[in-house]
Amino acid sequence: MLDDTCSLWSDGLSRENYGTSWRAQLKTPWGAAHLDRVALVDGPHIVSSAKRYDLSLRLDGRIRRVLGIGAVFTAEAYRGRGAARELLARLLETAVTEGQEFAMLFSEIPPAFYERLEFVPVPLTEWVIEVDQKRGGAPGMLVRAGDERDLPSIIEMSALRATGARLALDRSEDFVRFNITRKRLLSGLLPSGARTTEFLVAEEGYQAVAYLVATEQDGRWMIEEAGDRDPAGARLGAILQAMLARHPSEKLPEIRCWWPQSLVPPQLTVAAATPTQEVLMIRPLRDRLLPLPPLTAAEVVYWHSDYF
Ligand SMILES: CC(C)(COP(=O)(O)OP(=O)(O)OC[C@H]1O[C@@H](n2cnc3c(N)ncnc32)[C@H](O)[C@@H]1OP(=O)(O)O)[C@@H](O)C(=O)NCCC(=O)NCCS
């Protein structure tokens, strides 16, 4: 399965490091209990395979267990014969027996294929943001590397941000740790300097009051996830100002994010907002009548960190 999918989804890792990253993800507490790969086989041949995640979603105020499907792949010799469809149908069937109530995936192909399987798109917006640079100076605020002790505060900030949304992942400490680990593995296994992952917090009274996880590659930043205890988000904006002030002579990076629309720190302006390239899709599993009235992008909180 790794041989088949490496050229498409290794994010630039060598085949060996792609395998290392996968095995390491499975050794994390969250990965060990919530992630695996499944395949449809024909004797010794792998026909079609996929990644399977066990996610927890807050949808219209209720927590639902959700099957997350990723990396659907059919070997070229078997394509166009319904193999992917069969694999997906079996995945959905198993999910029902395991008590999951919805299935979710990100489509990288035109969504018609998944629409035929009753998935509907969820609108997500990618923003390009600009940061007011405070005339190049760093704000007078302590910003330090985030670590283990910050996770409880991060979960609180995350949950606070999700309460007003109709659709948001229910993010546990293990899940956040898993996602940061996944980003760090990718940065660490690529050639040195190709990509960096930063996890920063602003602290007050020994407690993280704002945080940010960002990745940088080729002069582009992606804010993977972020939070601020204060709804106005000013300390989060100040973290970004501090990051930019570290390298005043460098060309300004392009900064992108899948940012909740309710959180716009005063130091930021939105330069562009477009639908995300990868289309998030969802469908109920058991009960076709489970209400899923159309969602707007403003009602969804989904961090790029949680893209699978
Ligand atoms: C997409 C993929 C998994 C389909 O596998 P498959 O076993 O051939 O799929 P099925 O036979 O069940 O269904 C075929 C349908 O897939 C859809 N499809 C396949 N490739 C597609 C593509 N690149 N763009 C849009 N639709 C595509 C078509 O609707 C096709 O229907 P058709 O045969 O009537 O034209 C396979 O082409 C593949 O592995 N592609 C590379 C990896 C990939 O892009 N995966 C999807 C990630 S979201």
pLDDT of residue 288: 63
Residue ranges per domain, the chain?
2-122+278-291, 125-275
Q: How far, in Å, CA of 241 to CA of 253, rounded?
A: 12
Closest C-alpha residue for ligand 1 atom 32: 80
Pocket test for ligand 1, best of 5, 8, 74 (most atoms within 8 A of CB): 74
2-122+278-291 and 125-275 have identical folds: yes
> Residue 120 corresponds to which amino acid?
V
Query: What's the gap in Å between 291 CA and the centre of ligand 1?
Result: 29
Q: Where are the beta strands (DSSP E) in the chain?
A: 35-42, 45-59, 62-74, 102-107, 120-122, 125-131, 143-145, 167-169, 195-204, 207-217, 220-228, 254-257, 268-275, 279-284, 300-301
pLDDT of residue 223: 97
List strands edge to edge, sheet with 220-228: 143-145, 195-204, 207-217, 220-228, 254-257, 125-131, 268-275
Q: For residue 86, which atom of ligand 1 is closest to its CA?
A: 12
Contact 212, 228 (CB under 8 A): no
Class (C level, CATH) for 125-275:
alpha beta
Strands 167-169 and 300-301: parallel
- 2-122+278-291 has which CATH code? 3.40.630.30
Residues 6+ apart with CB under 8 A from 256: 126, 127, 128, 129, 220, 221, 222, 223, 304
Residues 6+ apart with CB under 8 A from 157: 210, 211, 227, 228, 229
pLDDT of residue 251: 83
Q: Which of 95, 74, 101, 71 is nearest to 86 (CA)?
A: 74
**77 CB less than 6 Å from ligand 1?**
no
Q: How far, in Å, CA of 44 to CA of 41, rounded?
A: 7
Residues 6+ apart with CB under 8 A from 11: 186, 190
Q: What is the pLDDT along the chain (308 residues), one digit of tens a residue?
A: 999 999 999 999 999 999 999 999 999 999 999 999 999 999 999 999 999 999 999 998 899 999 999 999 999 999 999 999 999 999 999 999 999 999 999 999 999 999 999 999 999 999 999 998 876 677 888 899 999 999 999 999 999 888 889 999 999 999 999 999 999 999 999 999 999 999 999 999 889 999 999 999 999 999 999 999 998 999 999 999 999 988 777 788 999 999 888 888 999 999 999 999 999 999 999 876 555 778 999 999 999 999 99
Query: What's the gap in Å between 228 CA and the centre of ligand 1?
Result: 41
**301 CB less than 6 Å from ligand 1?**
no
Token output for 59: 């949808």
Place of tokens 């995936």: 105
